[in-house]
Structure 1
């Protein structure tokens, strides 16, 4: 009887092709929209996590200046509180630290031949390469000797290399930063766009002492980047780090710190929570169309019951039981959900690829989203098909046979 019920249900759907397709349309659009929206949301999440991870693993960043509250201005000189001795003390006294990379940065116009480009100049030490996950595409990175001798050497990012040298090999070429000559010794590997849309490839790295004394004329630091030994101890390292700096800067009691500490683990967790919320919101909005599709299934099934009242009466007169009629109409509703869900999966995956190709957005197709959307579409078909199926199964055979 089950096989016969399936055959009757399929014949009924095929007999009304246009109506069946229009009924499925809500399910198709709903499933496709859920898959496409979730893939876009997960793509955003993956991009944010990759961007944060590119800044460095187990990274802790210390910057000068007290945190301002309610727009209050910081005290004069609060942004010059970090020194190279602070960096050395951190490396020496704080347990659980792998590497420490002090740095300074500022923007300058860089000239090479008849080309010029304004970019961010970073003065740092060799440890920066490991701490900030920075790799060299060609040439070499700055060395401890370069820092000790205040050497005028530079490692340039791909964006700078392209704008100053085009297709010419930049290694060994001379550039002028703030009218001071520097020799290009390396080109960084591309890291792409970073947080806030910043181009991480638009940078030049020079020795810390060279930047401080030959370019900027300062003795303080703009940032200290620290790599913890593992993610598990990063909070403890941060506490110890704060204690060392408070002691060195003679900050006691409830006095406000003249420095700020952030770690990328907490930033990544916050970003992950935000993007997960966005993904969930997009998926829920798209899922509303599945409910609309379910209402469409109920509507069409009720029409089908009305149209086939005499057929139901004849089947009951020939011995069909309550469960036989119920099963027949439930199968019709589930078939609409299954076929519509299958087409919707193809539509959703195709839409994700099209968005990625034409809009340039990163998308991640989730197998969980596909299974969940398909299961939901079948569930919607079953749920909204129960009432029409039960109505058909409860028809009185005598009244059904007399129905015109």
Structure 2
């Protein structure tokens, strides 16, 4: 019986379309256009969010960077204004005392280091780090090369890992791995080249323009007592806040400063930055969805308008149906069904064109500037579900008022209607 009613509704729907061709087409087109707007806005927002998150993670993969600062509070008889300088001993203390730390590395730095080959010379930022730095900064090597390892550290080897841009400037199209270069007139062997990556957050410049050597080699050459910074990654992201407090307490005891003195120890928290950025982009996507939803709402007014016209033109017919026993629920469901069908047809067309457009956009070079900062649009399941929900809601609301008007038709009065 239900199938009979549904087939009857479909027949009635297409009969109405024939009498309202232009109006129905324009209404369906408006729905399709609104759907296209919603999907594309959300798809571009999703792509931009993913690309920005990737760029942030490539600068620091769930890490915290610890810098020594200057005290602004007196502490146990010691005056304010003391400089806090971090050392390898601080790194060892943190590593041994805090099991919540998953990865840790010191970082030394030397500006204006001159790298020279027989063909070229480049001035760049030279850093001395430990092997764990590879994962924390996502400085992954290209195929056939490697990052620093433990033997490099233990033997103070004069080996260097180059950013992809620096490698290109020094060696051109040649494979640099195994070749020698001079760093401030000291010979080094190239062991690896960084795999190209997008980096939207900087810490002393992009990694693509860095030269990386073992921390032990850096100390042996430059004799640095103090480290530039200590890089830490928690075992769990949820340990972030607690770990920062523990670090301040532990280093506060060692260097004798108030753990609540935030200026004594600077901690750049990439985890918090990532969470904040995620919230911002969720807000942007909601805003974009609302803009697209308003476009669909305007189209929904068109659906409601055409349904009111259909109800008016079929008033006499509705009266006959009610006179022979049709229930209000039957009349109500028929017009809501027709409204949903118009919305569904336009929505399907909009979704189809959105999918085709996103596929076509995928042919563009999103791995190169400036498109790499925008990110390739993504049609996620969430985007599709949100769009379908908006379409269903608008279709239901657009058909509800005309359907209620049709269901309230007085059979006696409607039979007099011409």
Which position in structure 1 is the counterpart of 2:211?
204
Which position in structure 2 is the counterpart of 1:71?
none
Q: CA deviation at 1:62?
A: 1.0
What's the TM-score, normalizing by structure 2? 0.81
Q: CA deviation at 1:67?
A: 9.5
Q: 1:96 to 1:164 in 2, by over 3 A?
A: same
Q: Does the CA contact (< 8 Å) of 2:56 and 2:199 recur in 1?
A: no
Q: Which runs of 5+ in 2 are unaligned?
A: 73-79, 365-370
Q: What pairs up with 1:2-401 in 2 under 5 angstroms?
A: 2=5, 3-55=7-59, 59-66=63-70, 78=83, 81-108=85-112, 109-137=114-142, 138-144=144-150, 146-147=152-153, 151-195=157-201, 199-211=206-218, 214=221, 218-252=224-258, 255-312=261-318, 322-358=328-364, 359=371, 361-397=375-411, 399-400=413-414
Q: Which runs of 5+ in 1 are unaligned?
A: 69-74
Q: Which runs of 4+ in 1 moved over 6 A?
A: none
- Note the alpha carbon deviations across 1:248-278, whole angstroms, 9 max, x for none: 2111476555222244433332222222122
Q: Does the CA contact (< 8 Å) of 1:329 and 1:388 recur in 2?
A: yes
Q: Does the CA contact (< 8 Å) of 1:135 and 1:189 recur in 2?
A: yes
CA distance in 1, matches of 2:302, 2:236: 54
Q: 1:317 to 1:86 in 2, by over 3 A?
A: closer
Q: Does the CA contact (< 8 Å) of 1:101 and 1:131 recur in 2?
A: no
Q: Secondary structure at the match of 2:177?
A: coil
CA distance in 2, matches of 1:22, 1:129: 57
Q: Secondary structure at the match of 1:352?
A: helix
CA distance in 2, matches of 1:5, 1:98: 64
Q: Does the CA contact (< 8 Å) of 1:60 and 1:263 recur in 2?
A: yes
Count of equivalent residues: 396
Q: Secondary structure at the match of 2:208?
A: coil
Q: CA deviation at 1:287?
A: 1.0
Q: 1:386 to 1:158 in 2, by over 3 A?
A: same
- Note the alpha carbon deviations across 1:315-354, whole angstroms, 9 max, x for none: 5566655444433322221111111121122133333334
